[in-house]
Amino acid sequence: MNWLTSYTNLASAYIKINFKSLLAYRGAFISQMVAMFINDFVWIAFWCLFFTRFPVVKGWGVNDVITLWAIAASGFGLAHMIMGNALALPGIIMRGELDSWLLYPRAVLPHLLLGKSSASSWGDFLFGIVVYAIFVKPDLPHFSLFMALICSVAVLFVGFSVFTGSLAFFMGSAESVSVQLRIAMITFSTYPSPIFQGFVKILLFTLLPAMFVSHLTVSALRNMSMLDALYSFGGALGVLLAGIIMFYVGLRRYESGNLMEMRG
């Protein structure tokens, strides 16, 4: 229990510090947030146009897709506004920059992940909540479940980023592969799940676990199904566990970059 309290305190301290450092470049921070807001909104506009012409796609309506986008964007945003280094992991490993993180009396992975906040992720996070509140107009139980599912999706995205980022321990230059896998995961996560069938559906429950974002969360919210919400959490924890194992197995192969580095 002491362990949990200690890491919660560490996380809240890092969130505060990272937020303050983002505010040091206020103009750039706000413009990145707004840019991400616009980027996400274009996709909502696309789906609104699409559903104006074709009102239902395999049982999904426009509100389902907006819900999906809201959960995916906010989940991704929450993950990387708190654990922004998850996105930079392959580069950090490849350049031998783990050294400074290995010296701290903390578990390497959570400490490393907390070390940075992604500015644009704040835009993603806010976008999801605003869009869900304005377009879907949820009642309190739906909104509460929505917020809980955002946490589940955030755990999944962190786990997936750690898993793909840790490929750098084994492949060396894994930055491009990691980015491509992450983009594929995000892309598959933001389309209605019923359009994928057969082998691809199995793939999306396993290697590219997008169904835990796009299928179970929307189903949980649509039917207020706690079982689907639990499956979603279970899947997210499974992906996180796989990421943690991959990281620590890979860490045994890590070679120092002998870099002189100072962290302020």
Helix (H, G, I), strand (E, B) or coil at 85: helix
Q: The tokens 């929450």 sit on which residue?
A: 78
Which residue among 13, 28, 133, 230 contacts another protein (CB under 8 A)?
28
d(CA 170, CA 146): 37
- Please, what is the minimum distance in Å from the beta carbon of residue 247 to another protein? 23
Tell me whether residue 196 or residue 233 sits nearer to another protein (CB atom).
196
Residue 26 binds another protein (CB under 8 A) = no
Residues 58, 192 contacting (CB under 8 angstroms):
yes
Using the rule CB under 8 A, which residue among 17, 56, 107, 259 binds another protein?
56
Name the one range near another protein by CB under 8 A: 49-57, 123-131, 143-151, 232-240.
49-57
What is the closest distance, in whole angstroms, from the C-beta atom of residue 117 to another protein in the complex? 19
CA angle 7, 11, 16 (to 5 degrees): 150
Beta bridge partners of 60: 57
Segment contacting another protein by CB under 8 A, of 43-51, 76-84, 138-146, 237-245? 43-51
Instruction: Please report whether residue 241 would count as binding another protein according to CB under 8 A.
Output: no
Please report how the helices 226-251 and 216-223 are oriented relative to each other, as an axis angle in degrees rounded to 10: 160
Q: Are 80 and 86 in contact (CB under 8 A)?
A: yes
Site for another protein in 160-189 (CB under 8 A): 176-177, 180, 183-184, 187-188
CA distances from 40 to 31, 68, 106, 139 (A): 14, 12, 36, 24
| Residue environment code for 45-71, b if the CB has 16+ CB neighbours within 10 A, otherwise e | eebeeebeeeeebeebebbbbbbbbbb
Which 187-226 positions form the footprint of another protein (CB under 8 A)?
A: 187-188, 191-192, 194-196, 200
Out of 13, 17, 35, 134, point to the residue binding another protein (CB under 8 A): 35
N- to C-terminal Cα separation, the chain? 30
Q: Which stretch binds another protein (CB under 8 A): 48-56, 103-111, 125-133, 233-241?
A: 48-56
Q: Indicate the residue among 218 and 240 with the shorter CB distance to another protein.
A: 218
Report the DSSP beta bridge partners of residue 57: 60
> Which positions from 84 through 143 interact with another protein, judged by CB under 8 A?
none
Q: Which residues bind another protein (CB under 8 A)?
A: 27-28, 31-32, 34-35, 38-39, 42, 45-46, 49-50, 52-54, 56-58, 176-177, 180, 183-184, 187-188, 191-192, 194-196, 200
